[in-house]
């Protein structure tokens, strides 16, 4: 027998976290690395949220185990927030509080998939999706949409990928890594297609508030309400409230799915930290003014990074409409000599940029689309301009 099970041994390390760890290690060693790797807002968590956590630490109620599926106050706050932000009516029994959106995604797939069930995954995709699907026994089926179609899949493409084993269609808008935002009409077309073929939809709405140029992030079960009984929504506080390290996410879904996923969580992790849950109650029950301030800073950085990247010969960067990532094609740089080396893949190029310019970006290989780099623009304006300036000098 193998020391490591086949199921776990087959999982790849998270490439985005690996790039971030490497950049942080170089930085700790004194190198002036500028990190575009992590999908992490640079802002501090808003004060009123931190204050709620401080108070929660002193409250003896929070020293104890609470219901595995989440504090009732937080479930209610999620119900209210879902109505306010998406126009979707749900009840606390439709909600499971998880250790971040990541756990929500894993638990949702574990709850829905039997061995061999297929999940249609639009690519470029967030690194974790295929691994979470495989870990749950499922089979990811990738459908690639490149920059010529604004990184958005069409009904024709997903229909071509559908088989009798397809159970779930995975949807993520605004998208990590591309920043693509599907219009209401596009969401409706994909939702109607899923409905027509009896598929489930897992929709990851974690970037819902980060949209630009007057775009809206339409919620799939609101646009196609007939899907409600076969739709699981994933969300969390990480990106909206600069709370990545607090680890609060959630699943909103049909009651039987939520109940089964809660059973799983009750054995895996029990309840999420009460202190973090209390902080999330404050975040969700507060207004969206801090969110709007961060959004407008991201918007400014978005314009800067897109125009600076497009000034580099060989780089083509479409304008992202949401999240905080720019996802340029760097195919024009491959096979070209850069300071003595000739990278032929985006992975090699990313290594080279880290070495020669001390700039960290994640290669498209991590997202199922070689030939691209992902730059998170959730970093300070000065660092952003300095980092892309270094690339312009190295590549210019
Ligand atoms: N979904 C997407 C698309 C993400 O980019 C992330 C974080 O990078 C998550 C979910 C999960 O976030 P968290 O687990 O920090 O709540």
289-309 confidence digits (pLDDT tens): 999 999 999 999 999 999 999
Task: Answer whether 107 contacts ligand 1 (Cβ < 6 A).
Answer: no
Average pLDDT for 370-376 = 97
| 22 confidence band (pLDDT: 50, 70, 90) | confident
Question: 202 in ligand 1 pocket by Cβ < 6 Å?
Answer: no
User: Which residue's C-alpha comes closest to atom 8 of ligand 1?
Assistant: 39
Band of pLDDT at residue 96, cut at 50, 70 and 90:
very high
- Please choose from 37, 202, 239 the residue to mutate so as to test ligand 1's pocket, defined by most ligand atoms within 8 A of CB: 239
Class of residue 233 by CB neighbours under 10 A (exposed 0-12, middle 13-18, buried 19+):
buried
Q: Is the ipTM of this complex over 0.90?
A: yes
Between CA 375 and CA 388 the distance in angstroms is 10
For residue 351, list its beta bridge partners. Answer: none
For residue 23, what pLDDT is reported?
A: 86
Ligand 1 nearest-atom number relative to CA 39? 8
The verdict on the CB of residue 367 being under 6 Å from ligand 1 is no
What does the alpha-carbon distance between residue 214 and residue 78 come to, in Å, rounded to a whole number?
25
pLDDT band at 11 (very low <50, low <70, confident <90, very high): confident
Say how many Å lie between the CA of residue 207 and the centre of ligand 1.
9
Structure tokens at 179: 């920043």
**Is the predicted pLDDT of residue 13 greater than 80, yes or no?**
no
92 φ/ψ angles, rounded to the nearest 5 degrees: -55, -30
Q: 309, 273 in Cβ contact below 8 A?
A: no
Q: Which domains does the chain have, with CATH numbers?
A: 6-45+290-395 (3.90.1150.10), 47-285 (3.40.640.10)
Confirm if 108 and 234 have CB atoms less than 8 A apart: yes
Q: How far is the CA of 258 from the centre of ligand 1 (A)?
A: 19
pLDDT band at 12 (very low <50, low <70, confident <90, very high): confident
pLDDT digits (tens, 9 = 90+) for 33-59: 999 988 889 999 999 999 999 999 999
Rounded Cα distance, 202 and 118, in Å:
13
Please check the confidence at residue 16 and state whether its pLDDT lies above 80. Answer: no
Q: What is the pLDDT of residues 212-222, one digit of tens each?
A: 999 999 999 99
User: 158-162 — which CB contacts under 8 Å span 24+ positions?
Assistant: 158/120, 158/122, 158/190, 158/193, 159/193, 161/120, 162/120, 162/197, 162/199
pLDDT at residue number 128? 94
pLDDT at residue 375 in the model:
97
State whether residue 115 is helix, strand or coil: coil
- How far apart CA 366 and CA 180 sit, in angstroms, is 17
Task: Quote the crossing angle between the two packed helices 289-310 and 381-395, to the nearest 10°.
Answer: 10
Cβ(100) to ligand 1 under 6 A?
yes
Atom of ligand 1 nearest to the CA of 104: 14
């Amino acid at each position: 027998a193998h020391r490591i099970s086949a199921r776990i041994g087959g999982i790849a390390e998270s490439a985005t976290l690996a790039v971030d760890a490497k950049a942080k290690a170089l930085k700790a060693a004194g190198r002036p690395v500028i990190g575009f790797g992590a999908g992490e807002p640079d802002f501090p968590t808003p004060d009123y949220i931190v204050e709620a956590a401080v108070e929660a630490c002193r409250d003896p109620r929070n020293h104890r185990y609470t219901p595995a599926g989440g504090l009732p106050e937080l479930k209610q706050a999620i119900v209210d927030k879902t109505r306010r932000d998406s126009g979707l009516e749900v009840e606390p029994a439709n909600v499971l509080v998880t250790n971040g959106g990541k756990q929500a995604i894993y638990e949702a797939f574990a709850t829905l998939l039997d061995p061999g069930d297929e999940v249609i995954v639009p690519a470029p995709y967030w690194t974790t999706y295929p691994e979470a699907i495989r870990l749950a026994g499922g089979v990811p089926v990738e459908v690639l949409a490149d920059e010529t179609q604004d990184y958005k899949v069409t009904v024709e493409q997903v229909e071509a990928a559908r088989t009798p084993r397809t159970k779930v269609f995975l949807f993520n808008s605004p998208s990590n890594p591309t920043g693509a935002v599907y219009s209401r009409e596009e969401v409706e077309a994909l939702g109607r297609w899923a409905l027509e073929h009896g598929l489930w939809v897992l929709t990851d709405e974690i970037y819902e508030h980060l949209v630009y140029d007057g775009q809206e992030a339409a919620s799939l079960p609101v646009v196609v309400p007939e899907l409600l009984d076969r739709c699981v929504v994933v969300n969390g506080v990480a990106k909206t409230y600069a709370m990545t390290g607090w680890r609060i996410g959630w699943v909103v879904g049909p009651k039987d799915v939520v109940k089964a996923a809660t059973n799983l969580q009750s054995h895996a992790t029990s309840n999420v930290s009460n202190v973090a849950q209390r902080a999330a109650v404050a975040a969700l029950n507060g207004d969206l003014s801090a969110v709007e301030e961060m959004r407008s800073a991201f918007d400014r950085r978005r314009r800067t990074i897109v125009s600076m990247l497009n000034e580099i010969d060989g780089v083509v960067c479409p304008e992202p409409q949401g999240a905080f990532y720019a996802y340029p094609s760097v195919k024009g740089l491959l096979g070209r000599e850069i300071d003595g080396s000739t990278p032929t893949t985006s992975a090699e190029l990313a290594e080279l940029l880290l070495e020669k310019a001390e700039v960290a970006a994640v290669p498209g290989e991590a997202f199922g689309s070689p030939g691209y780099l992902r730059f998170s623009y959730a970093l300070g304006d000065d660092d952003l301009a300095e980092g892309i300036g270094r690339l312009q000098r190295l590549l210019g």
